[in-house]
Structure 1
Amino acid sequence: MDDKYSKYFSEQSLWDKLRKFGKAAGAKVVYAVLLLFYTFQDKSVGIKTKLSIAAALGYFILPTDAIVDLTPIIGYSDDLGVLLFTLSAVAKSITPEIKAKAHEKLHDWFGEINPEDLQEIDKKTF
């Protein structure tokens, strides 16, 4: 992931994007974002890993990516690809506590979610 996207990442801009477009992006995308965000916040995670995460989250936040995000489902497919790639790269840094926080926040926003809907994401983090 190109570091040029990391300049678009900030905690405020991430929460703003999730508030505005989280439902449209869907539970899978939001779950991947939350996993990366909570991993980024972990003090034990190294700077190189944090830079990769910041770039992926910056790409997610940036409204002018490869496929326009305003198009439901299809518009977030490129974001999901970037997020999944980054999750695979940083998987060893994702702890059970991070997963629990992501699941809790996801439940707050989406209610009950079928665990099978998140399998693609969870496979990247084991």
Structure 2
Amino acid sequence: MDDVKIGEILMPGEESEQDAKARRVRKRFWPTLKRAIGHIPFVRDLVAAYYCALDPQTPLRTRGILLGALAYFVLPFDIVPDFLAFVGFSDDIAVLTAAFAAVSGQIRDVHYQKADEILKGPLPDS
């Protein structure tokens, strides 16, 4: 996956685009995470990013970047099919890593606290 493609995925976009991505992410995040949980090495960061992206207090640019990465993560079809176990999530990992670097420090303690709490029990269905 090249930097140009990752850059396109992580474009913050207009507010209406962010709203559409947020709906997609809310609908598909937990089922996708359940399939990926053993293959993604930074599940806590991923869940914290989910809460950060949906937090209305998060700056618009940060929300846009995270929603782009999370929307790519929940896409049923992407460059490397996710059903190929770890290899299938390698492109998702690249996009998510780039997003985390772009929003460094914007994911707050409250988002990590929510992630820790949800990861203690069974994950929601949606």
Report the TM-score when normalising by structure 1.
0.70
Q: What is the aligned-residue RMSD (CA, Å)?
A: 2.6
Moved more, 64-73 or 95-104: 95-104
Q: How much does 1:24 deviate? A: 4.6
Q: How much does 1:44 deviate? A: 1.8
Give 1:14-29 correspondences, 5 Å limit: 14-19=29-34, 21-26=35-40, 28-29=41-42
Q: Return the alpha-carbon distance in structure 2 between the equivalents of residues 95 and 54 of structure 1.
A: 16
2:25 maps to a residue whose letter is: S
Question: SS at 2:85's partner residue?
Answer: coil
**Equivalent residue number for residue 73 of structure 1:** 86
Q: Return the alpha-carbon distance in structure 2 between the equivalents of residues 76 and 102 of structure 1.
A: 20
1:18 maps to a residue whose letter is: L
Q: Give the number of equivalent residue pairs.
A: 108
Q: Return the alpha-carbon distance in structure 1 between the equivalents of residues 111 and 85 of structure 2.
A: 28
2:78 maps to a residue whose letter is: D
Question: SS at 1:91's partner residue?
Answer: coil
1:65 maps to a residue whose letter is: D
Identity %: 25
1:108 maps to a residue whose letter is: G
